[in-house]
Amino acid sequence: MSNRALRRVIFAVSAVAALVIPLQPAPSRAAEPFEINVIVSLTGPFAFIGSAEAKSVLALEKIVNASGGIKGQPIKMIIQDDQSNPATAVQLASGIIAKKPNVLLGPTYLASCLAVAPLVTSNNGPVMYCFAPTLHPAAGSLLFSGGSSSNDQAKAQMTFLEAKGWKNAVLIASTDATGQDTEGRWVDEYNSGKYPGLKLLTREHFAPSDTSVAAQVAKMKALNPDVIIDATVGTSTATVLRALKDAGLDDLPVMSSLGNVIHAQMDQYTTILPREIYFVAPGFISRDITPKGPVRDAQQLFYKAFNDQGLDPDVGNSQSWDPTLVIIDALRHVGTGASPKQVLDYIEGLKHFPGSDGYYDYSDGSQRGIGLDAIVVCRWDAAKKTWVASSEPGGKPLKK
C-alpha cells in the first residue's frame, strides 16, 4: 500500500489508524495488560471457523500492542474453547461474567450465542459481540452480531440465482440452530414474492450427527433441479457434499453458506467438491472490485496482516476481525474502565466506520452495523485455491 493510501486510512478510521500510529514513549512502569475475554470453538464441528477467529484476534492483539495498546495499556486476549457446545459456552461465560468485564467477544456460532445471551442481559453486561451473523439481537441491547444478517444473505443468494437463470432449486438443511435459521430466513425471503423466476421444489433435513443423507439427496435428484441450496455449516457440509458426489449430482451448481468460506474446510473437502460451488461471503472477498477509498484500504490492511504470515484470510478471520476492531475503537474512546453501558452507547453512535467488510453504521438498530451492501456471492476457484467474487455487493452477478 502506498504512503498516501495509508495516510487516508489513518485519517478515515480511528480504529485502523490507531493500529499504525507510531509508538509513544513507554511509561516508567508498564501497565498491567487489559484482558479481553474471547469464547470460540477451537474443537468440535465449528472448529474450522473458531480456529480462524482465534488467529484473527491474536493477530490484532499484536498489532494493537505494537501501536501503544489502549491509551498506553497493552491488551491480552484470553481465549477459551467452548468445544462447539452451548453448555460449555454457558459455563465459560458464567465464570467470565462473575469478574464483571465490560466486553466479551464471541462465541463462534449461533447455538452458543443464544445460550450465553440471557446471562449477559440479566447481568447488565458485558457488551457481547457474537461472531455469528445468524444472531438477531434486539435493538439497543447489549448484544451485537458479527457480519451481515442471514436475511441479507438470503436476499443476495436469490438475487444471484434468479439472475443466473437457475429456476428450480432444492434445499437441504441441518436441524441445528444455524441450519434452522439459515433455512428459515431463506424461505421467508423466497415467500416474499420478489423472485417469480425461482421455484423451490423441496426442503430436506438431517441431524448434524447423521453420517449419511443419501435418502434426502435421492429425493432431490428425482426432481431434476437446476441448483442445490446447502443450508449447512462445518462438518454437516461434508456430509452433504459427499452424498451429492455419490449420487452423481456434483455437476450441478451448489450455493452454500457464508460460514463455509474457510480454507481448512476447502482443503479437506477437495475430493468431494462439486464442479461449481458458490457461497455468500463478506465484503472483504471483493477487494479486487471495491472502489478506491477507506473500505478498500481497510481490506488491504486486513489482507496484509495475514499475507505477512503466509495466510490467505477467510470468513473465520473476517467474522472476528471487524467486531474486535469496533470493540478496540470503543475502548480507546471510553477507556478500559468504562461500564458496559458506556461501551454500548459509544458503539450505538458509531457511523461510517470503514472495516474489511464495508462501512459500519450502528444507528439503524440492527446491532451489526452492516447489511446487504456488505454481502457478495463468490465462487471457489480450485486452481487458485481461493474464492473469487462472482457478484456485486447485494448479489447481482458481475458482468463478464
The set of cell numbers assigned to 215 is: 435418502
pLDDT at 332: 96
pLDDT at 30: 59
Alpha carbon distance 82, 217 (integer Å): 32
Q: pLDDT over 70 for what percent of the chain?
A: 92
Q: Is the pLDDT of residue 372 over 70?
A: yes
Q: Is the pLDDT of residue 319 over 50?
A: yes
pLDDT at 172: 98
Going by pLDDT thresholds of 50, 70 and 90, the confidence category of residue 333 is: very high
pLDDT at 4: 42
Mean pLDDT for 267-287 is 95
- In the predicted model, what is the mean pLDDT of the chain? 91
Mean pLDDT for 12-20 is 43
The set of cell numbers assigned to 70 is: 489502549
pLDDT at 8: 38
pLDDT at 174: 97
Backbone angles phi, psi at 318, to 5 degrees: -70, -40
Q: Is the pLDDT of residue 284 over 60?
A: yes
Question: pLDDT per residue over 187-242, tens digit each?
Answer: 999 999 999 999 999 999 999 999 999 999 999 999 999 999 999 998 999 999 99
pLDDT at 7: 37
Question: pLDDT per residue over 129-162, tens digit each?
Answer: 999 999 999 999 999 999 999 999 999 999 999 9
Note whether 304 and 60 are within 8 A (CB). no
Q: Is the pLDDT of residue 297 over 50?
A: yes
Half-sphere exposure of 31 (CA within 13 A, CB side): 17
Alpha carbon distance 115, 176 (integer Å): 13
Q: Is the pLDDT of residue 66 over 50?
A: yes
Reported pTM:
0.83
Q: Is the pLDDT of residue 1 over 70?
A: no
CA angle 385, 319, 37 (to 5 degrees): 130
pLDDT at 288: 86
pLDDT at 17: 43
Q: Is the pLDDT of residue 6 over 50?
A: no
The set of cell numbers assigned to 162 is: 434468479
Backbone angles phi, psi at 355, to 5 degrees: -120, -175
pLDDT at 31: 78
pLDDT at 146: 95
Cβ-in-10-Å burial (0-12, 13-18, 19+) of 116 comes to: buried
Alpha carbon distance 198, 208 (integer Å): 28
Q: In degrees to the nearest 10, what's the CA dihedral of 365, 367, 368, 373? A: -10
Mean pLDDT for 83-99 is 97
Alpha carbon distance 261, 48 (integer Å): 10
pLDDT at 26: 42
Mean pLDDT for 372-400 is 93
Alpha carbon distance 35, 37 (integer Å): 6
Q: Is the pLDDT of residue 322 over 80?
A: yes
Q: How close are the terminal C-alpha atoms of the chain, in Å?
A: 28
Domain layout of the chain by residue ranges: 3-148+291-371, 150-287+376-389
Q: Is the pLDDT of residue 296 over 70?
A: yes
Q: pLDDT over 90 for what percent of the chain?
A: 86
Q: Which CATH class is domain 3-148+291-371?
A: alpha beta
Alpha carbon distance 26, 28 (integer Å): 6
Which CATH number, 3.40.50.2300, 3.40.50.10490, 3.40.50.920, 2.40.110.10, labels domain 150-287+376-389? 3.40.50.2300
Alpha carbon distance 31, 137 (integer Å): 35
Q: In degrees to the nearest 10, what's the CA dihedral of 340, 342, 347, 353? A: -130
